Amino acid sequence: METLCLSHLIEEEMPLFPGTEQPSVKRIFSVEKDHFAETRLSFSSHTGTHMDAPAHMIPGGKTLDHYNPGSFTGAGVLVDATAFGGKEIPLDIMMQKEEEIRKSDYLLIHTSWDRLWGRPGYFENYPVLSPKTALWLASLPLKGIGLDAPSFDPVKGPQRIHHILLGKGFLLVENLAGLDRLRGRRFSFSAFPLLYQKSDGAPVYAAAVFSPSS
């Protein structure tokens, strides 16, 4: 089996959604001086590759610490949406893989927007689901949806897609990386969030596992 990391590295100089505080990664003890190493970490719950819980936007919504660990892993399916930069992703793209999506736990949407990570334009004109597409997906028994773009909604404007999907209890993973390596493969997907109390969201180590022959 082969395992792929699908997360961006958390570091002090990294792209952040407009308004998010810069993370701090500070070495407070070192092996050379203190005979052990320890690092102080400070960052928003929605830093880098992260997972949104319903509580992120839904009043009284479920927090990540109330999900069973099995909610964060399962069979994955990849949908190619690389042709929709600056546009809404239409329903017919999903319908082409309806059978596979219905058999999966996690839908990953490959937009190829991660190619702009750390460059001007990453937070501009990225593709998002159309409301019609989001409503159809919300009717399916998925655990969650992930994509390699900054958000499920534009930076400015109503967060309609978030509300549709989070309102159904979906887990949403944003800022994935390297989804192109999953093209044409059958894989399992995992994204385990940092466990803390009343978590509206958390950074995740996202990964995919597949057979090299798949």
Measure Cα distances from 90 to 13, 87, 160 in Å.
Answer: 34, 9, 15
pLDDT in tens, 133-179: 999 999 999 999 999 999 999 998 889 999 999 999 999 999 999 99
- Please tell me the total count of domains within the chain: 1
pLDDT in tens, 26-39: 999 999 999 999 99
Start-to-end CA distance of the chain, whole Å, equals 10
**Residue 114 and residue 148: Cα distance in Å, rounded?**
6
Does some domain include residue 169? yes
- What is the pLDDT at residue 214? 65
Does some domain include residue 37? no
Q: Whole-prediction pTM value?
A: 0.95
Does some domain include residue 19? no
Does some domain include residue 25? no
CATH code at position 100: 3.50.30.50
Nearest C-alpha neighbor of 46 from the set 144, 170, 150: 150
Cα 61 → chain centroid: 18
Boundaries of domain holding 136? 2-11+44-210
Does some domain include residue 177? yes
Average pLDDT, rounded, for the chain? 96
- Residue 80's identity, in one-letter code, is D
| Backbone Cα Rg of the chain | 17
pLDDT in tens, 110-134: 999 999 999 989 999 999 999 999 9
26 burial type by CB count under 10 A (0-12 exposed, 13-18 middle, 19+ buried): exposed
Does some domain include residue 31? no
Does some domain include residue 23? no
Backbone torsion region of residue 100, taken as left when φ is above 0, otherwise alpha when ψ lies between -120 and 50, otherwise beta:
alpha
pLDDT in tens, 88-101: 999 999 999 999 99
- What is the pLDDT at residue 204? 98
Q: Give 174's strand partners.
A: 50
Task: Compute φ and ψ for 79, nearest 5 degrees.
Answer: -115, 130
Nearest C-alpha neighbor of 136 from the set 113, 111, 161: 161
Does some domain include residue 38? no
Contact between 7 and 49 under an 8 Å Cβ cutoff? The reply is yes
- What is the pLDDT at residue 120? 86
- What is the pLDDT at residue 75? 98
**Residue 127 and residue 147: Cα distance in Å, rounded?**
10
